[in-house]
Amino acid sequence: MIAPALPVAIQKNKLLIGLFGTAVNAAFHYPNYFSMNVNGPDAKRAVTAGLFDVAAAQNPKPKTVAIVAADAEFGRNASDGARENAGLHGFTIVYDRSYPPGTTDFAPVVRAVQAADPDIVVICSYPLDSVGILRAVDEVRFLPKLLGGAMVGVQSSNLKMQLGPLLNGVVNYESWLPAPTMQFPGVMEFLSKYQERARAEGTDPIGYNMPPWGYADLQVLEQAIRATGGIEDAALAAHLRVNAVHTIVGDIAFGSDGEWRESRMLQVQYRNIRGNALAQFKDMDNQVILTPAKFKTGEVIYPMADAKR
C-alpha cells in the first residue's frame, strides 16, 4: 500500500516512487514523492473523467448518474472525483452510497441502484467487489446506458477470463493496452519475455496491467541515478521534478505532488467477448480505447444493451 508508506518516507526524508496510488500525496504535498500512475494533475477526477466525457458526447445526452463505492481509500478518492465530474457535465446524481469492505452479496446493492433508474452507473470497487458487482448486474438483468468507470481488478487477464461475457458493454479504466496507439519503445519486447516466464511462474499470463509498470517504476529510478551519479534522495528527487523520463509505458514528466503533468488514464469498452478463453483478451478489437483522443481506437457502443447482443 502506497498511502501507509508515504508518512514513513516523509519521516525519513526518502525518495518514494509509488505504484498505482491515487492522490496519496494530495494531503501531504511531499516534494520527494513521485507517482507511477496515469492519473495526472487531477488524480481523483482522472479515474472516471473519460467515462463522463463519453457520456456527455451522446445524443441525446444522458441525465442521471449513480455512484457506488467501496468505503475504503481508493473508493473514496475515485467517488469524490466522480461527483466532481458529474457536476462539471451537469448530470444529476440520483444514487450515491458506499458499501462496507468485506461485502460479498452485491445483489441488494445493485437492486437499490436499479430502483433509482440512473442512465450512468459509476462503480469504484476493489477486485473481488468488481466481480461480485458484475455478477449481480447480470443476475438482476440491470442494463443502464453506461456502467463502469473505476473498477479495480478487471484489468487483470485472470479476472477477465473469469468474467468473460459479463464484461460486454462495460466501460472502465485501464492504464495501458498493446493497442497500435500505445506500443511504446521496448514494451512489446518486455511482454514477450514476461509472458514466457509467466507460464512457469503461474502469474498473470498476459501481463498488460502490472508487469510493465513495475519495470517502468525501476526505469525511473535508474535514469535518476544515472543522471545524478549517486543515490542521494534529495538529488534524485530534484532531478525527477524537472526532467522527463523515458520508459516502456511512454515518456513521463512529473508535476505537482509528484503526479504526471498530463493525464493518460484510458477508458476502454469491452465487447464481442464469447466464453472465457484467454486469447480473446489479446485482441484489441475486443478492448476498444475510447479516451483520451490521442490513443483512441474506436467509438463507444451505446447504450450498453447494444454491446450485450
Q: Quick one: angle between helices 233-242 and 211-228, nearest 10?
A: 110
> Which of 200-204, 232-236, 286-290 is the least confident region?
200-204
Domain limits of the chain? 44-175+271-307
Run of H or E residues at 178? none
- For the segment 230-251, what is each residue's pLDDT rounded down to a tens digit? 999 999 999 999 999 999 999 9
Is residue 154's pLDDT more than 80?
yes
Q: What is the pLDDT of residue 143?
A: 97
Q: Which tops the pLDDT comparison, 309 or 210? A: 210
Q: Which tops the pLDDT comparison, 22 or 288? A: 288
Task: Judge whether 289 and 179 are in contact, CB under 8 Å.
Answer: yes
Judged by phi (left if over 0) then psi (alpha if -120 to 50, else beta), residue 97 lies in: beta
Q: What is the pLDDT of residue 3?
A: 65
CA atoms within 13 A on the CB side of 226: 9
CA atoms within 13 A on the CB side of 299: 6
Task: Judge whether 276 and 164 are in contact, CB under 8 Å.
Answer: yes
d(CA 287, CA 167) in angstroms, rounded, equals: 10
Q: Please provide residue 26's backbone torsions phi and psi, each rounded to the nearest 5 degrees.
A: -65, -30
Q: Which tops the pLDDT comparison, 113 or 24? A: 113
Residue 4 — pLDDT band, cuts 50, 70, 90? confident
CA atoms within 13 A on the CB side of 131: 14
Q: What is the pLDDT of residue 222?
A: 98
By CB atoms closer than 10 A (0-12, 13-18, 19+), residue 170 is buried
* Whether the model pTM is above 0.75: yes
Q: What is the pLDDT of residue 141?
A: 97
Neighbours of 161 (CB within 10 A): 17
Task: Enumerate residues 6+ apart whose C-beta is below 8 A from 301.
Answer: 169, 269, 271, 307
Residue 156 — pLDDT band, cuts 50, 70, 90? very high
- For the segment 81-129, what is each residue's pLDDT rounded down to a tens digit? 999 999 999 999 999 999 999 999 999 999 999 999 999 999 999 999 9
Looking at residue 272, the DSSP 8-state letter turns out to be -
Q: What is the pLDDT of residue 23?
A: 87
- For the segment 41-88, what is each residue's pLDDT rounded down to a tens digit? 999 999 999 999 999 999 999 999 999 999 999 999 999 999 999 999
Neighbours of 253 (CB within 10 A): 13
CATH number of 44-175+271-307: 3.40.50.2300
Residue 28 — pLDDT band, cuts 50, 70, 90? very high
How far from the centroid of its chain's Cα atoms is residue 226's Cα? 31
Looking at residue 51, the DSSP 8-state letter turns out to be H
Q: What cell numbers appear for 139 in the block? A: 443476475
Residue 1 — pLDDT band, cuts 50, 70, 90? very low
d(CA 258, CA 139) in angstroms, rounded, equals: 42
d(CA 122, CA 47) in angstroms, rounded, equals: 10
